[in-house]
Amino acid sequence: MPFGKREVFMRLKLVYGVGLAVVFAAAQPVMAAQAATFPDGPVHLRYAVYVHGFHVVDVHADYALSQDGYDVRTSLQTDGIWAMLLKMKIESDGQGRFDGSAVRPEFFKSNGYSRGKERTLDIRYEGISPVVKDLTPPETDRVPVEVNDRANAIDTVGAMMLLLGTLDRTEKCDGGVKIFDGLRLIDMNSTSAGNQALPDDSRLSYTGSAIRCDFVGQQVAGFMRFSHHEAQMRKPQPGSVWFQNIPGYGLVAVRIELNHPKLGHLTVLLDGAPSHA
Q: pLDDT tens digits for 200-253?
A: 999 999 999 999 999 898 999 999 998 888 888 888 888 899 999 888 888 888
Least confident of 99-103, 133-137, 257-261: 257-261
Residues 6+ apart with CB under 8 A from 52: 264, 265
Conformation bin of residue 152: beta by default, left when phi > 0, alpha when psi is -120 to 50:
left
Say if residues 213 and 243 touch (Cβ distance below 8 Å). yes
Per-residue pLDDT band for 106 (boundaries 50, 70, 90) equals very high
Residue 74 has pLDDT above 60, yes or no: yes
Q: Please compute the mean of the pLDDT values over residues 46-74 and round it to a whole number.
A: 86
- For 155-195, how does the pLDDT look when each residue is reduced to its tens digit (9 = 90+)? 988 887 788 777 777 888 888 889 999 999 999 999 999 99
The upper half-sphere exposure of residue 64, i.e. CA atoms within 13 Å in the direction of its Cβ, equals: 10
Residues 6+ apart with CB under 8 A from 84: none
- For 17-29, how does the pLDDT look when each residue is reduced to its tens digit (9 = 90+)? 444 444 444 334 4
Q: Please compute the mean of the pLDDT values over residues 125-135 and round it to a whole number.
A: 92
pLDDT on residue 37: 53
